[in-house]
């Protein structure tokens, strides 16, 4: 890749970042007033659905995930684990 091509890629990247930040700042008031509640409810609903099934404790892959590469591939038999912890203050 030539030097000019590298600078062109960097410039495009900087312009994209500036544009997205500028749009975010310009739309903040509208989003806060009109859209925030709906977006938050959507976030909570998606979070509830993705955390409904089993989640691997090591890899954090889940039965219900938005990303295909984070899905549990094999069927696993899962059951709740109940723990009892005590704290002695002496």
pLDDT digits (tens, 9 = 90+) for 37-90: 999 999 999 888 888 888 887 888 888 888 888 888 777 777 778 899 898 887
Domain tally, the chain: 1
Q: What is the pLDDT of residue 42?
A: 93
Q: How confident is the model at residue 8 (pLDDT cuts 50, 70, 90)?
A: low
Q: What is the pLDDT of residue 9?
A: 60
d(CA 28, CA 40): 15
In a domain, 59, yes or no: yes
In a domain, 15, yes or no: yes
Structural domain range at position 58: 3-70
Do 80 and 90 meet the contact criterion of CB atoms below 8 Å apart? no
In a domain, 76, yes or no: no
Three-class SS state of 59: coil
Torsion sign across C-alpha atoms 66, 71, 75, 79: negative
Mean per-residue pLDDT for 32-36? 88
What is this structure's pTM?
A: 0.48
In a domain, 17, yes or no: yes
In a domain, 88, yes or no: no
In a domain, 81, yes or no: no
Q: What is the pLDDT of residue 41?
A: 94
In a domain, 28, yes or no: yes
Picking from 30, 76, 84, the residue whose alpha carbon sits closest to that of residue 55 is 76
């Amino acid at each position: 890749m030539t030097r000019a091509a590298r600078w062109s890629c960097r410039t495009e990247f900087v312009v994209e970042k500036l544009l997205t930040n500028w749009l975010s700042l310009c739309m903040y008031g509208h989003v806060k007033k009109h859209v925030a509640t709906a977006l938050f409810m959507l976030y909570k609903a998606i979070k509830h659905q993705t955390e409904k099934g089993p989640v691997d404790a090591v890899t954090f892959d889940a039965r219900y995930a938005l990303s295909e590469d984070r899905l549990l591939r094999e069927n696993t038999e899962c059951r709740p684990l109940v723990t009892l912890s005590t704290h002695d203050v002496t």
